[in-house]
Structure 1
Amino acid sequence: MAGIYIHIPFCKQACHYCDFHFSTNLKKKALLLNALQKELRLRISELGNERVETIYFGGGTPSILSLDEINQILNSVYANFEVIENPEITLEANPDDLTEKWISTLSKSLVNRLSIGVQSFFDEDLTLMNRAHNSQEAENSILYVKEYFENISIDLIYGIQGADDARWKANIDKALDFGLPHISSYALTVEPKTALAKYVQKGLISNVDDEQAQRQFLMLVELLENEGYVNYEISNFGKPDFFSRNNTAYWQGKSYLGIGPSAHSFNGSKRGWNVRNNTKYIQELENDNIPIEYEQLSTLDAYNEYVMTGLRTIWGVSLKKVGTVYGANYRKYLEIQAQKYIDEHLLFLDDDKLLATKKGKFLVDGIAADLFMVKLDK
């Protein structure tokens, strides 16, 4: 089984924290959508005999598209690839796009899962982040979506400057009041070359407080787990039967095609990434060229990726798999490197699986980096 990710690189306005590829100029939207469909046709053979089980519209802001435009892309996927009978088809959406009429129309399409970029239910936070919606639109959009969709996720951001623990708890409580089956939550990060980074450098906004972010993450885990959510990946919380199949496939190393400018692809042994420029992307595809670069993963690269992704999930890192797939020296190295984190109660062993403790989850990216193999000494 495989997935297809479709990057829609357009937004109404730029969020201050975002470093994803997007444009607020929609003049080339029609040309780009034609290019997306052309790329799907040109890459028809890349999944081999694998069937498509997930289709994910990310961005950017996919909800900026009309139903006709969404259907055009989905029709191209179905025309060029074998799709399973009941695929998960997710569309990321911003609350300001989710009018009742638009949602009603969308419900008649093949899209069966919505991921809503709420980020916060407080206007102060939304203004700081330069989101296009306000808190009332966030609440209304969820109420509208619940009338037509069952499989719904929202995004929330913690560690926001000026948002104390009481406000963060109120955000979580508000999300829980809606009875949603899935919540994704991420720490605010100051990415280079973003507006937020410039404001921090100029002293207009304070930098992110790591202690606050860690404290709020632990609050999040405790409150959601108490309500029956499973923290199946560091940033993802789902009720049973509502884990994101797209996210799960990614963290478990399944193949996926990335379609659109800046989109990434993976086939188990090779990674690819498309050009991060709308004009170049369109021009290359008009000339029947796929604007992609590839990197063949070495055994060392594959081991490091498995450690990084595995530790973020409830499935952990299998010591047996490390020994069998990557070699006995890799397993020995991992066991030695992991021991200090086990002693510090940041990692633990459950039979064959190496997993992060609750305390270790927030630090897991740094821990994983320390478990990476830089070179294999023979």
Structure 2
Amino acid sequence: MAGIYIHIPFCKQACHYCDFHFSTNLKSMEDMVEMIQQELILRKNYLGTETIETVYFGGGTPSLLKPEMIHSILDQIQSTFSNQWKEVTIEANPDDLTDSNLKAWKELGFDRLSLGVQSFNAEVLKFYNRAHTSEESKIAIDKARAIGFEKFSLDLIYGYPSDNHKIWENDLKEALIRDPGHISSYGLTVEPKTALGNWEKTGKFTQANEEFVSQQFEMLQEAMDQGGYIQYEISNFGKPDNFALHNTNYWKGIPYLGVGPSAHSFDGKHRGFNPRSNSKYLNSLKAGVIPFEIEELSPEDSLNEYILTGLRTIWGIDLDLIEERHQINLRAEKSSVLEKMNDQGWLLWKDNQLSLSKSGKLLADCIAAALFI
């Protein structure tokens, strides 16, 4: 099995925190859709004979595309690859959830909506420079359910600087009231080439301190637990049978093809990426050249990547599998480190399967790095 990720590099406006690749110039949208189809054709053998089970439209803002543009891309996937779709997702902003869009997406075969809510607070949305309103966030799922959608995910951001946690408490409450079945939540980060990054350099913005952010992460864990959501990955919470299949496959090392500017791919052994430039991407494909750079993974890279991604999930890492594939007894190699982590209560063991406790998830990246070979 395998997946296809389509990166749509366009947005109405730039969110102040966003460091993903996108453009607010929509003039090349038709060319982009055509070249995305061209890339799908040129890379039809990338996944070998794997059957495509998941398709994910991300970005950027894929909900900006006209339905006929999306239709042409989906048709290209169906005609180019072996398909047995189990999940087809589109990321959408609440302000793009018109009745006509929702009906078209449903008819095109999308069965999952990933909604970029980020916050239900009007002031926070304005600070982030989001295009939608808090009211549009609140009615988004109701509108989609009325059309017939059943599977949703809400994106939320924690760590907005404040004197207290009231805004975050309300965001969590509003999200759970709507019972989406899946919630993805990320801490507010400041990237250098964003508006927040510039504001921080000039003293116009100060991030919340680490303790404040950690407290909000713990509030998130508690609220999701009480709401019946399982933290199956550090930033992702789903009710049973409502985990995101496409993203879960990333963490489990399932091959996928990424198409579009800045998209990444993995064939099971090698990773690669497209340029973070719309013009370079378009010009290359118009010349019949795949704009793709391969990243060779050493055995150590592969092992460390498995540790990093595996420890982010409830499935953890299999130490027997590591020994079989890499001839490394991680339990023996890292015995002193593991002992200290055990004493701190950060680890969970099931036979030779290692995962992180609730408190360990606060330090997931640090724990993984300490176990790298």
Q: Structure 1: how far apart are the matches of 2:75 and 2:83?
A: 11
In structure 2, the residue matched to 1:176 is 176
Q: Which residue of 1 aligns with 2:130?
A: 131
Partner residue in 2 for 1:376: none
Q: Is 1:78–2:78 an aligned residue pair?
A: yes
2: CA distance between counterparts of 1:77 and 1:55?
A: 9
State the 1:200 CA deviation: 1.4
Partner SS, residue 297 of structure 1: coil
For the 8 Å contact 1:125–1:163, the answer to whether it is kept is: no
What is the CA distance between 1:162 and its match in structure 2?
2.2
TM-aligned CA distance change 1:89 to 1:163, over 3 Å: farther
In the alignment, the residues of structure 2 paired with residue 39 and residue 158 of structure 1 have an alpha-carbon distance, to the nearest angstrom, of: 36
Does 2:118 match 1:143? no
Query: Contact 1:323/1:331 (CA < 8 Å) preserved in 2?
Result: no
What is the one-letter code of the residue matched to 2:255?
S
Q: Structure 1 residues 163, 272: CA separation in 2 closer, same or farther (over 3 Å shift)?
A: farther
* 1:347-378 alpha-carbon deviations (Å, 9 max, x no partner): 232221111111111210122122212xxxxx
CA shift digits 1:202-258 (9 cap, x unpaired):
111212322111111111111111221111101111111110001110000000000
Query: Counterpart in 1 of 2:167?
Result: 167
Query: What is the identity, as a one-letter code, of the residue corresponding to 1:118?
Result: V
State how far apart, in whole Å, the 2-side matches of 1:24 and 1:362 are: 35
Separation in 2, partners of 1:306, 1:263: 20
- Secondary structure of 2:359 counterpart: helix
Once the two structures are superposed, the pairs formed by residues 331-342 of structure 1 within 5 Å of their partners are 331-342=331-342
Q: CA offsets, 1:290-322, max 9 Å, x none?
A: 001001211100010000000000000111111
1:340 Cα offset (Å):
1.8
Matches of 2:329 and 2:227, distance apart in 1:
42
Distance 1:215 1:59 in 2: 30
Counterpart Cα distance in 2 of 1:306 and 1:298: 12
Deviation at 1:163, TM superposition (A): 7.1
1:198 & 1:168 partners in 2: Cα distance?
Answer: 25
CA distance in 2 between counterparts of 1:113 and 1:350 reads 33
8 Å CA contact 1:271, 1:294 repeated in 2: yes
Counterpart position of 1:97? 96
Asked whether the 8 Å contact 2:230–2:237 carries over to 1, the reply is: yes
Contact 2:331/2:338, CA 8 A, preserved across alignment: no
| RMSD (Å) for aligned C-alpha atoms | 1.2
State the alpha-carbon separation in 2 of the partners of residues 52 and 252 from structure 1. Answer: 16
Question: What corresponds to 2:9 in structure 1?
Answer: 9
Aligned-partner SS, 1:276: coil
Deviation readout 1:150-195 (Å, 9 max, x if unpaired) = 0111100001122732221111111111121111111111112111
Aligned to 1:363: 363
What is residue 19 of structure 2 aligned with on the other side? Answer: 19
Task: Give distance in 2, aligned partners of 1:336 and 1:364.
Answer: 18
1:330 is displaced (CA, Å) by 4.6
CA contact (8 A) 1:37 1:76 kept: yes
The one-letter code sitting in structure 2 at the alignment partner of 1:121 is F
What is the aligned partner in structure 2 of residue 238 from structure 1?
A: 238
1:334 Cα deviation (Å)? Answer: 3.9
Instruction: State the Cα distance separating 1:329 from its structure 2 match.
Output: 4.9
1:1-378 map, 5 Å: 1-84=1-84, 86-147=85-146, 148-162=148-162, 164-373=164-373
Name the aligned partner's letter for residue 319 of structure 2: L
Per the normalisation by structure 1, the TM-score is 0.96
Write out per-residue CA displacement over residues 100-152 of structure 1, whole angstroms, 9 at most, x where no aligned residue. 23212222111111000000000111111111111011112221112220011
Q: Tell me how far apart the structure 2 counterparts of residues 139 and 166 of structure 1 sit (CA, whole Å).
A: 18
Please say if residues 319 and 329 of structure 2, whose CA atoms lie closer than 8 Å, have aligned partners that are also in contact. no
Does the residue aligned with 2:46 lie in a helix, a strand or coil? Answer: coil
Aligned residues: 372
Partners of 1:242 and 1:10 lie apart in 2 by 28
Runs of 4+ in 1 over 4 A off after TM superposition: none
| Displacement of 1:336 | 4.0
3-state secondary structure, aligned to 1:237: strand
TM-score under structure 2 normalisation?
0.97
Q: Structure 1 CA distance, aligned partners of 2:242 and 2:195?
A: 35
In structure 1, distance between residues paired with 2:171 and 2:216:
11
Matches of 2:164 and 2:70, distance apart in 1: 39
Contact persistence 2:306–2:317 (CA under 8 A): yes
